[in-house]
Structure 1
Amino acid sequence: MSLRMSPYSSRRSRVWPALLVTGALAFTAACGGDDDGGSGGSADGGQTTIEFSWWGSDERHQLTQQAVDAFEAKNPGIKVEVQFSDWDSFYDTLTTQVASGDAPDVFTIEIRRLGEFARAGRLADAGSMVATEGLNSQLLTSGQVDGTQYAIPTGANTFALMANTKILADAGVELPDDSSWTWEDYHALAAQVSEATGEDVYGTQINFNDAYLRLFAAQRGEEFYEGTQIGISPETIADWFQTHLDLIGNGGSPDAALSTEVGATSVEQSLIATNTGAMGMWWSNQLGALTTGSGEDVQLLQVPKEEGATTNGMFLQPTMFWAISEQSDKQEAAAKLVDFLVNDPEAGAILGSDRGLPMNDAVLSEIRDELPAADQQSLAFIEEHADSLTAPTAYPNGAGDVPDMLQRYGEEVIFERMTPEQAAEEFLREANGVLS
């Protein structure tokens, strides 16, 4: 995944709701065929053909194709036609396909869009077709909407702070004690690293990811969503925006221009991965890319806590989900592919932690010794903190537009075109107007 987990454009924000509504009118234009969902639709000599769509990097495409090849070898009666794209174009393409009744039989979806797709009748009941007994029950509930298992998590993930130990050592500072450090400690450490290493290396990289705001608010006892509205107070949101200004102000992070430029790049071009920054917040499955890019030891840390907070607000989240289209007339074959991807050790060994650590205990047990060092570190980190990592539930409709809003208003703040208080009020007005 790229640095900006949900870089939605303003164009996408306008196109998405219209396409989803249009799709409701086109729902009956789905790929009609067999009621049993078995071998209907495209078939050649008794072979069922299903379409499988995802987003991601070239590496993810290669790994997924290997998994598809393994699936086809075990299921010679099913042929999988793959469709993949980068993140920026994925949802535009998918929503167009849904609107025209031509959705892929299997596709990936993230939690920000899950509820919207499910409530619009776009997703099949995957829980009735895919074996879920061996899957992590806590994480599994994240794929439920109104009690129905519409999607199957691809794997486990958590949003954490990463530290490039070489840069910390070069700055003459020790790895922080993440069991007790505060946001003030984090800011001071970032400034110390920047000062000690020179103008081309920074203590940290700022981040407007909504996962960061979620855990920041949770430390104050506030939920990101309450029903169909933002549950975070304007004061907390303003304080969160202010933390970014503070890091720029004390030199702990790059200035606004460079921070925005770096924030638009991939994880491979981040400060940590290019050895120009000591710290940053990322999803745990990105540890491998950061380690590989930097060539150094990168450590996973708990995020800092606000003084007096009883929790650091960190949570366990599905990296994404496998979903089966309700429009598909080949749901039985589609479900076999999803079942293979989450329950077969061969698939687990191929995919590794690319879409999060496997959530099937038997699969994980079989492949864990073969996982790369970065994945083993991520697994140990999640297992160590499992008791305190809660899993989210499906978000309200419109939640997919919220990350872009936070990015836009965050940039208004760091370029000093808005105060944190103004940005918080405007963000809440816009977000609550979109959510339903």
Structure 2
Amino acid sequence: MFHRRERILPALMIAGALTLTAACGGGDNVGSDDGDGQVTLRFSWWGNDSRHELTQQAIDLFEEKNPDITVEPEFSDWDSYYDRLTTQMASGKSPDVFAVEIRRLGEFATRGTLADVGALVNTGDLNEEVLASGNVNGTQYAVPTGANTFAVTANLAVLEDAGVEPPDDATWTWDDYIELSAEITEATGAGVYGTQLSYNDAYLNIFAAQRGESVYTDDGLGVSAETVADWYRSHLGLIDAQASPDAATSTEIGSTGIETSLVATNQGALGMWWSNQLSAITAGSGEEIELLRMPKDPGAVSGGMFLQPTMFWTVSENSERKEAAGKLIDFLVNDPEAGAILGSDRGLPMNATVLAEIESTLPEPDRMSLEFINTLGDELSAPEPPPTGAGEIPPMLERYGEEVIFDRMSPQEAAEAFIAEASSTLG
């Protein structure tokens, strides 16, 4: 969903992608305790109940290994997370350790709210390409929790019910995607569809990258109005072909909720989701779900797919417990026991040693995600942090997309309005 580095990212399990030098430190004025030698850390993240339970298990193990550190968890759902976090920051009460997504990293880093974690965490065994995504203006402000890729998910049971074979994802095009989805809708009957709409900016960036464009540049927007208009036309094409639900039903379903997605509820064959969401989709559907490459036009300059940090761990610049905060993050990304607990919930581990140790114990969907990413290999690039304001782009894309599918704006009108609004937001 972001502009790309020229270097090509190798597969996760290739040792050449990693360095083995230690980069751990403490530094001065980074520790504080509660007066009795016991340090208390506030630790904040977003997610569902499953993520909270896994994270608490990891916290319990960390406290067992570090009896002088107590961790107070603070978690919420996605919708309220950033409102709460920014309020805490404004009042000077930021958590010591907290999660951020790549869209928000740049704005937090440039506001002086994040500490340099490069001096606090051993990053030597982490995939250097993905690690670099947490570096802003030469400072390592964030450590990836793991990595994933945006891909097509295919519910094999729905495909079988429709009498349709999974597509050849090495060769299929956007036209094939629409035609196949329409065929599935027709074959399965009312209430089951070939696919559903997605307004994720990762989808737009893949679509744009195939044309040699990028949604984001270092300081603003890099995608053209023509490309955005064509992207919106593809959404209309899905509805017109009855490959997806109509506008009203599509809006009701939404494009962000895994639990209510058509693939996860066995009401759809195909969808576009992050690879780390494969476990949730599999659990929801109770069926085998396969990951596929995104379609592309015959004349595409690249497949456009990328491997990015699922999210990041960061430390508050205002924390008086930076050394302990660094220990917690180091444990989460470098300890094999922590890796075994957390699995791929926040993306596949970026420490090759951890990944090698836990690979055989991973649930089947996680092993499938790893195999898929390794199969893609150097087809995947790594993103840089987008400019300030990027967190506002996904809801903006959806808002204008709904104007298009309800015929209140033409694709070209919506694209030009999006470009104008996004350009004034980013920077």
TM-score of Structure 1 vs Structure 2, range by shorter chain: over 0.9
- Separation of aligned partners in 1, 2:288 and 2:63: 38
Letter in 2 for 1:430: E
Kept in 1, the 8 Å contact 2:278–2:289? The answer is: yes
Aligned residue for 1:171? Answer: 162
Of residues 311, 329, 334, the one that matches 2:302 is 311
- The residue aligned with 2:321 is 330
Q: Tell me the residue number matched to 1:28.
A: none
Give the C-alpha shift of residue 44 in structure 1: 5.2
When the two chains are superposed, the root-mean-square deviation of aligned CA atoms in Å is 1.3
2:289 aligned partner: 298
Partner of 1:261: 252
Mapped pair 1:96 → 2:87: yes
Percentage of identical aligned residues: 63
The reply to whether residue 239 of structure 1 matches residue 230 of structure 2 is: yes
Deviates more, 1:255-264 or 1:161-170: 255-264
Aligned equivalent of 1:393, options 361, 380, 384? 384
CA distance in 1, matches of 2:169, 2:302: 13
Do the aligned partners of 2:41 and 2:71 also contact (CA within 8 Å) in 1?
yes
2:305 aligned with 1:281: no
Query: Is 2:417 aligned against 1:422?
Result: no
Contact 1:35/1:329 (CA < 8 Å) preserved in 2? no
Whole-angstrom CA distance in 1 between matches of 2:119 and 2:214: 31
* Matched residue SS, 1:407: helix
Residue identity in the other structure for 2:71: V
Contact 2:212 2:301 in 1 (8 A): no
Q: Is the partner of 1:230 in helix, strand or coil?
A: coil
Query: 1:349-428 maps to which residues of 2 (within 5 A)?
Result: 349-428=340-419
2:32 to 19, 39, 54: 39
Structure 1 residue 304 displacement after superposition? 0.3
User: Which piece of structure 1 moves more, 265-274 or 411-420?
Assistant: 265-274
| Corresponding residue of 2:217 | 226
Q: Deviations over 1:175-234 (max 9, x none)?
A: 100000000001000000000000110000110000000000000000111232211110
Structure 1 unaligned runs (5+)? Answer: 6-33
**Residue type at the aligned position of 1:413:** V
Counterpart among 36, 39, 47 of residue 56 in structure 1: 47
Deviations 1:339-384 (A, max 9, x none): 0000000110010000000010000011000001000000001111
- 1:245-288 Cα shifts (integer Å, max 9, x gaps): 00000000000111111116621221011111000000000111
TM-superposed deviation, 1:105:
0.3
Q: Report the CA distance between 1:169 and its aligned residue.
A: 1.1
Partner of 2:8: none
Matched, 1:181 2:176: no
Q: Determine the C-alpha separation between the residues in 1 that align with 2:255 and 2:90.
A: 30
Distance in 1 of aligned mates of 2:80 and 2:254: 18
Structure 2 alignment gaps of length 5 or more: 2-26
Q: CA deviation at 1:386?
A: 2.2
AA aligned to 1:178 is D
Opposite residue 419 of structure 1, the aligned amino acid is S
1:101-155: CA deviation from partner (whole Å, max 9, x where unpaired): 1100000000000000001111100011100010001100000001111000000
Tell me what 2:120 maps to.
129
Q: 1:217 to 1:265 in 2, by over 3 A?
A: closer
Give the SS at the match of 1:51. strand
* SS of residue matched to 1:203: coil
Q: Secondary structure of 2:382's match?
A: coil
2:249 aligned partner, one-letter code = L
CA-CA distance at 1:46 after TM superposition: 1.2
Give the conservation status (yes or no) of the 8 Å contact 1:106–1:334.
Answer: yes
- Distance verdict in 2 for CA 1:170–1:415, change over 3 Å: same
Give SS of 1:396's match. coil
Q: 1:23 maps to which residue?
A: none
How big is the shift at 1:410? 0.6
Q: Which residue in 1 is equivalent to 2:153?
A: 162
Aligned to 1:143: 134
Residue matched to 1:107: 98
TM-score (norm 1): 0.91
What amino acid is aligned across from residue 356 of structure 1 in structure 2? G
Name the counterpart of 2:64. 73
Alignment check: 8 A CA contact 1:53 1:83 kept: yes
Deviation at 1:36, TM superposition (A): 2.2
Paired with 1:415 and 1:44, the residues of 2 have a C-alpha distance of 61
Q: What is the TM-score with the length of structure 2 in the denominator?
A: 0.93
Matched residue SS, 1:214: helix
Alignment of 1:199-210 (within 5 A): 199-210=190-201
AA partner of residue 391 (structure 1): A
Contact 2:154 2:270 in 1 (8 A): yes
